[in-house]
A and B are shown apart, each in its own frame.
Chain A
C-alpha cells in the first residue's frame, strides 16, 4: 500500500506548495544537473511508488530495443527544409533547398542531408506529427512528454508536479525493473533543452515521480580538450575504502543533529547516494571518459559539443544507460526567425548531420543499432511561408520526427503533410503516438503501466497509439 494513497490530501497539498515555492524563491534559478527542491519525504513516498503498479512488471515482453538515444534539436528545425520538401510549392514556401534522392526509391529529403539520404533505408520519417503549443518550452514539453503543458509559454520552468517525459519514464521503468548498471539510467548531455538558462523545459526531470528520477545532467562541454566529469574519478590518494569510511563518518556526524525539514536539505541525501555509486564504480568513470576513444572515432563524430555528446551517448548506452538525450543547443539555437537558409546551411545542419550519421554508423558497426532506438526531433516545425527576414517562424501544426534502429522498420515515410507542409494530410500522428511506438519497441505495454500524477491520479505512462507500420 502506498503511503501516499493513504493520505492524498497531504500529498497534493505538499507538492503544489513545493512547486510554487520554487517559483517564488528562485524565479531565475535553473535545474541544471537534475537539481531539485523536492520535499524529502515526498521522494520517500515516491520510493514506494516504484512498486506501485504490479501490472507493470508483467507489462513487458521480449523486444529488440533496449535503450534510446534522443537527438533533440533545440529551437525547432524547419521540417520543410529537411525532411518534408515541397519542391512544387511557390518560392516563398519551398525555400532555397532542393530535394535529393535517397537510398530508398521514391523517398526524397533535403539536399542539406546527403549523408543521411544514403542511410534512408535505416530511417523512418513521420511527416504528420502535430501538436498545438507554439512556445518553445511548452512545445518541447509536448514533443518530449507527449502531452500539453498547462499553459502555452516559453517562460516556464520544471517543477515537482511535472508530468515526466519519455526519458524520465524510461529511467523510472529501468529502476523498477532492477536497473543495476553503474552509470545512471537516464542522462542528458551536454545540458537540458531549454528556452535559455533561465527557462528550462518542464518534464525532463523527475517531476511528479520524485527527484530520485532526475536525469544525470552532464553540464559540461564534452568537446572541451580536458573534458571530464568533475569529481568522478577517485583521487589516487583516496582508496574506495577510505571514501566509504569518510562517508560513514559524515553520516555519523550528521545523524546526531535534528535536521530541519527542508526540501533542499532532504534532496541532498539522495544526491549523495547517487554520487557515491558513480564514484565507486570504475565502469561509470570509464563510460564518461571520452579520451578512451581513438582520435579517428572522435573526429568522425565531430569535435564539437554535439558530436562528442553523441559519442558519449553511445558509450553510456554500451555501459547500460537506457535513455540519453543529446541536446543540439545551446538554448534555442535552431530558432531561425531570421536568415533561416544560411543558418541551416552553414551553422546548423552540417554539425547535426555529422554527429547523427556517425552515431548511426558506429552503432551499426558495433551491432548495437538493433537494440538502440535513435529518435530525432525538435520543439515543433517552422512556418511553411518564409517571413520578411528570410526566416521561418514557429509551426506546431505539422512537423517531422525521425526514428531509426531499435527494431524499427526503416526506409519508410509515415503520414504526409499538405502541399505546403501546413497541416497533416494523411495519417496524423501525435507526439504521444511516437512515444507509444518507442515504448512498444522496448517491449512495454504502455497502456498497462501506470504512474501517479502529483494530485494522486493514476495515469498510463503513455496514452498514444503505437505506429504499427514501424514495428
Chain B
C-alpha cells in the first residue's frame, strides 16, 4: 500500500461543470466578480508566447520513454527491486501539474482531465503543460535558484531584471540549452541591449568565484577549494583553477570611467554631478541621478591586457608567486572552433561542447533529479571522474538522447514525464544515503516553497498569471545615456523616468494598485516577485533561498511555517468571499457536492467515505462556517504539502 490516503480514482464533478476551453482563463472571466478584497487578473498574460511542443513527436517520445523504462526494469531486476504501482489518474494529474506547471491543478482542469476518455490523455496533458506559461514560471524558479538571480546583484545600481526577462523568453521560445548557456557566457554590452550579460554581471567584482560558480552550475563540478590550495579530494590543483580562471579574468563588468580615450570629457559620474550642482545647487545628485549614471557604467567587455597572476603566496612547485597564468581548461582541450577567439568565447565553446562529457551529464542529472527527487549521480554538483551512476546505461542513454534532441531540454523532460517510472506513486521508502536509490519510484517530497505559494494562489486568486512584473523592455529607450556627451538635463530626465517607471517604489505602486491583498500582500506567482524576498516573506519562510549561493533553497519544515499556514494572511484570504475555492463551493448545491469541491480543489482527489462523514459532521455542527473549517483543515494537512 503506497498512497497514504487511498482513493479509488473515478468521479465526475457533476455539479461544477467548467467548460473545457482552450483559454482556461476565459471560463472564469465571464463570471461577474462579486465584491471582494481579492484582486483578480484580467486574463491577459503579458508574457512572450510559449512555443508548443510538437504533437508530431508523440510516437518518438513514447519510444524513448519506453527505452528508459526498459533500462529501469533491468536495474530493478538485477537488484531485486519491486517498483511501486502506477498512479491513478487523479494523483497523476496533481503530480503533473505540480512538476510541470509548478502548482496544483484548478478544479476545472481536474475535471477536464478526469472526464476525458482519450487514451492518450496523460501524454496530452504533459504536452499541454510543457507548452504553457506555467512551465516557464516553474522552470524560471528552477533556474533562479541555480543562477542566484537577484534584482540588484552586487549593488543597487545594477538592474538585473532585463536578464530575468530574457531567461523567461528563452524558456518560452525553448531555446536550445547549449546555445542558451553560450549566449550567457559570451554576451557583451549593457544589460538593456544584451540582457544575457546579466550572467556575468551577477558576479561583478568576484572574478574567481565567478569561475567556480560557472563550473559548478554547468558542469556539476566543484573546483572552489582549488582557489586557495590544491583540491583535497579531487585532482584539481590550484594551478588548474588559476588556468581556468584566466579565461574570464580579462572580462570587465564596468566601463572604464577613468579612461580618457573612452571618456574624453572626464569620468562621467564626477563630471555630471559637478555640472548638475553648478546648474542647480539644490538638486540632489546623490540619489537616482547618480544611480542612472552608475547603471549606465555596467557593461561587459573583453579588453585585452588584464592578465591573471598566481597569488602572492603561491606555494607549489609548478609556478611562482605572481607569475602570469595562461588560460587552459581544467580538463579536456579547447575545441578547434575556439582557435583565434577571445578567451571568454574559447571557454564558452569548450564548456558547452558536445565533446565535454560533463556539460551534458550535468544537465541530464539535474533534470532527472528535478523529476525524481534524486539524481542518477549524487550529489549533483560534485561530479568526479569516477562518479558512478546507479545505472550508467540509463545516464548514457539520457545524454545521447539530449544530444540527439540538440539540447532541447524541454523535450527530454517530455520523455522523462512519459515514462512509467515517473508515473509511479511516490515511494513509501526513505532514501538511505548509504545505498544508491534504485528508483522504485520518485521520492516522496514536500512541495517547494514556490509550489506551495503558487498552489495557494491557485485556490484563491482568479487569473493570477496576469500579474506579471512590470516589463523592463523600454529601459534602454528611457535611461540609456552616452555618458561622454550627456548633459545634466538628460541625466535628470532619465532619473525622473527611472523613478516613475522602474524603481522599486514604482513597481510597488503598480502592484499595490493592481494585485495586492489588504494593501500589503502582493499576489503574483513566485516567479513574478522581487528577488530575493525579505526573510519573513511566505516564500522565504517555506524555504525559498536568498539567492546568495547556488541552490540555497530548502524544503525543511519549522514552527514558523505552521504559524503561517494556521493563521497567516493567505489562509484568511482563502476563506473569504471572492476566492476561487469559495466561489466554486457556492456554485455547488448540496453538502455532498461542496465537500467534493473542497477535496478536489485542495487535494486533487475524491473524499473517501470517512473523509465525507468527518466533513459532514463538521458542517452539521458549525453550519456554513464549517466549510471554512474543512478548507482550513485540508490546506494544513501533510497530504497537501507533499507530492505523492
Q: 8 Å CB contacts to B: which residues of A271-325?
A: 271-272, 274-276, 278-279
Distance in Å from the Cβ of A148 to the closest Cβ of chain B?
19
Q: Are B549 and A17 in contact (CB under 8 A)?
A: no
Scoring B residues 551 to 586 as 1 if CB is less than 8 Å from chain A, else 0, what string do you get?
A: 111111111111111111000100000000000000
- List, in ascending order, chain B residues with CB within 8 A of A250's CB: 632-633, 636-637
Alpha-carbon distance between A249 and B4 when the two chains are bound, in angstroms: 18
Alpha-carbon distance between A27 and B379 when the two chains are bound, in angstroms: 8
- List, in ascending order, chain B residues with CB within 8 A of A262's CB: 430, 444
- List, in ascending order, chain A residues with CB within 8 A of B550's CB: 28
Alpha-carbon distance between A471 and B614 when the two chains are bound, in angstroms: 60
Residue B638 CB within 8 A of the other chain: yes
- List, in ascending order, chain B residues with CB within 8 A of A278's CB: 559, 563
Residue B630 CB within 8 A of the other chain: yes
Alpha-carbon distance between A261 and B629 when the two chains are bound, in angstroms: 27
- List, in ascending order, chain A residues with CB within 8 A of B195's CB: none
Alpha-carbon distance between A279 and B555 when the two chains are bound, in angstroms: 23
Q: 8 Å CB contacts to A: which residues of B201-216?
A: none
- List, in ascending order, chain A residues with CB within 8 A of B546's CB: 197
The chain A residue with its CB closest to the CB of B536 is A220
For B554, B615, B637, B641, the residue with the greatest tally of chain A CB atoms inside 10 Å of its CB is B554
The chain A residue with its CB closest to the CB of B635 is A250
Given A21-B432, A219-B536; A231-B552 close (CB under 8 Å): no
Stretch at the interface among A124-132, A232-240, A350-358, A377-385: A232-240
Q: 8 Å CB contacts to B: which residues of A256-277?
A: 256-265, 267-268, 271-272, 274-276
The chain A residue with its CB closest to the CB of B639 is A257
Q: Are A261 and B430 in contact (CB under 8 A)?
A: yes
Alpha-carbon distance between A30 and B556 when the two chains are bound, in angstroms: 8
Residue B622 CB within 8 A of the other chain: yes
Residue A216 CB within 8 A of the other chain: yes
The chain A residue with its CB closest to the CB of B551 is A28
Q: Are A232 and B563 in contact (CB under 8 A)?
A: yes
Distance in Å from the Cβ of B596 to the closest Cβ of chain A?
15
The chain B residue with its CB closest to the CB of A16 is B434
- List, in ascending order, chain B residues with CB within 8 A of A31's CB: 554, 556
Alpha-carbon distance between A237 and B618 when the two chains are bound, in angstroms: 18
Residue B287 CB within 8 A of the other chain: no
Picked from A28, A198, A230, the residue with its CB within 8 Å of the CB of B563 is A230
Q: Are A24 and B548 in contact (CB under 8 A)?
A: no
- List, in ascending order, chain A residues with CB within 8 A of B639's CB: 254, 257
Q: Are A21 and B433 in contact (CB under 8 A)?
A: yes
Stretch at the interface among A32-40, A166-174, A338-346, A428-436: A32-40
Q: Are B622 and A245 in contact (CB under 8 A)?
A: yes
Residue A243 CB within 8 A of the other chain: yes
Picked from B373, B428, B534, the residue with its CB within 8 Å of the CB of A221 is B534
Distance in Å from the Cβ of B56 to the closest Cβ of chain A?
38
Residue A196 CB within 8 A of the other chain: yes
Picked from A219, A224, A235, A257, the residue with its CB within 8 Å of the CB of B560 is A219
Q: Are A33 and B558 in contact (CB under 8 A)?
A: yes
- List, in ascending order, chain B residues with CB within 8 A of A88's CB: none
Distance in Å from the Cβ of A332 to the closest Cβ of chain B?
12
Given A24-B378, A197-B548, A271-B561; A234-B567 close (CB under 8 Å): yes
Q: Are B629 and A245 in contact (CB under 8 A)?
A: yes
- List, in ascending order, chain A residues with CB within 8 A of B432's CB: 17, 21
Q: Are B433 and A24 in contact (CB under 8 A)?
A: yes
Interface residues on A, range: 35 or more
Alpha-carbon distance between A31 and B1 when the two chains are bound, in angstroms: 32
The chain A residue with its CB closest to the CB of B576 is A237
Picked from A27, A29, A36, A37, the residue with its CB within 8 Å of the CB of B543 is A29
Given A24-B433, A28-B553; A33-B561 close (CB under 8 Å): yes
Residue B535 CB within 8 A of the other chain: yes
Q: Are B567 and A261 in contact (CB under 8 A)?
A: no
Residue B34 CB within 8 A of the other chain: no
- List, in ascending order, chain A residues with CB within 8 A of B312's CB: 388
Distance in Å from the Cβ of B118 to the closest Cβ of chain A?
31
Residue A1 CB within 8 A of the other chain: no
Q: Are B552 and A17 in contact (CB under 8 A)?
A: no
Q: Are B572 and A33 in contact (CB under 8 A)?
A: no
Distance in Å from the Cβ of B523 to the closest Cβ of chain A?
16
Q: 8 Å CB contacts to A: which residues of B430-467?
A: 430-434, 443-444, 446
The chain A residue with its CB closest to the CB of B609 is A256
- List, in ascending order, chain B residues with CB within 8 A of A57's CB: none
Residue A398 CB within 8 A of the other chain: no
Q: Are A24 and B559 in contact (CB under 8 A)?
A: no
Distance in Å from the Cβ of B339 to the closest Cβ of chain A?
38
Residue B150 CB within 8 A of the other chain: no
Picked from A17, A224, A264, the residue with its CB within 8 Å of the CB of B556 is A264
Residue A25 CB within 8 A of the other chain: yes
- List, in ascending order, chain A residues with CB within 8 A of B5's CB: 256-257
Q: Are A246 and B632 in contact (CB under 8 A)?
A: yes
Alpha-carbon distance between A449 and B556 when the two chains are bound, in angstroms: 31
The chain B residue with its CB closest to the CB of A35 is B556
Residue B105 CB within 8 A of the other chain: no
Alpha-carbon distance between A254 and B641 when the two chains are bound, in angstroms: 13
Given A219-B536, A220-B535; A253-B559 close (CB under 8 Å): no
Residue B490 CB within 8 A of the other chain: no
Residue A20 CB within 8 A of the other chain: yes
Q: Are A230 and B562 in contact (CB under 8 A)?
A: no
- List, in ascending order, chain A residues with CB within 8 A of B549's CB: 28, 196-198
- List, in ascending order, chain B residues with CB within 8 A of A271's CB: 557-559, 561-562
Q: 8 Å CB contacts to A: which residues of B590-644?
A: 608, 610-611, 614-615, 618, 622, 625, 629-630, 632-634, 636-639, 641-642
Alpha-carbon distance between A230 and B555 when the two chains are bound, in angstroms: 18
- List, in ascending order, chain A residues with CB within 8 A of B443's CB: 25
Residue B488 CB within 8 A of the other chain: no
Q: 8 Å CB contacts to B: which residues of A187-210?
A: 190-191, 196-198
For B430, B446, B545, B560, the residue with the greatest tally of chain A CB atoms inside 10 Å of its CB is B560
Alpha-carbon distance between A274 and B566 when the two chains are bound, in angstroms: 12
Alpha-carbon distance between A119 and B608 when the two chains are bound, in angstroms: 68
Q: Are B545 and A197 in contact (CB under 8 A)?
A: yes
- List, in ascending order, chain A residues with CB within 8 A of B636's CB: 250
Alpha-carbon distance between A237 and B535 when the two chains are bound, in angstroms: 27
Scoring B residues 233 to 248 as 1 if CB is less than 8 Å from chain A, else 0, what string do you get?
A: 0000000000000000
The chain B residue with its CB closest to the CB of A256 is B610
Distance in Å from the Cβ of B612 to the closest Cβ of chain A?
11
Residue A229 CB within 8 A of the other chain: yes
Q: 8 Å CB contacts to A: which residues of B365-409?
A: 373-374, 378-379, 381
Residue A23 CB within 8 A of the other chain: yes
Alpha-carbon distance between A210 and B428 when the two chains are bound, in angstroms: 23
Q: Are B428 and A260 in contact (CB under 8 A)?
A: yes
Q: Are A268 and B553 in contact (CB under 8 A)?
A: no
Q: 8 Å CB contacts to A: which residues of B504-551?
A: 534-536, 538, 540-541, 543, 545-546, 548-551
Given A21-B431, A279-B566; A254-B560 close (CB under 8 Å): no
Alpha-carbon distance between A338 and B488 when the two chains are bound, in angstroms: 37
- List, in ascending order, chain A residues with CB within 8 A of B373's CB: 25
Residue A62 CB within 8 A of the other chain: no
Distance in Å from the Cβ of A425 to the closest Cβ of chain B?
30
Q: Are B4 and A33 in contact (CB under 8 A)?
A: no
Picked from A30, A214, A238, the residue with its CB within 8 Å of the CB of B567 is A238
Q: List 25 A-B contacts (CB under 8 A).
A: A20-B433, A21-B430, A21-B433, A25-B431, A26-B556, A27-B381, A28-B549, A33-B559, A198-B548, A198-B552, A214-B558, A220-B536, A229-B560, A231-B566, A232-B567, A235-B572, A238-B567, A245-B629, A254-B638, A256-B5, A259-B638, A261-B430, A268-B638, A271-B562, A275-B559
Which residue numbers of A lie inside 8 Å of B, CB to CB? Answer: 17, 20-21, 23-37, 190-191, 196-198, 214, 216-217, 219-221, 224, 227, 229-235, 237-238, 242-243, 245-246, 249-250, 252-254, 256-265, 267-268, 271-272, 274-276, 278-279, 388
Further pairs besides A33-B561, A260-B428: 13, Cβ < 8 Å: A20-B433, A28-B549, A198-B549, A229-B560, A232-B567, A233-B567, A249-B630, A256-B608, A256-B614, A258-B1, A261-B428, A261-B430, A263-B430
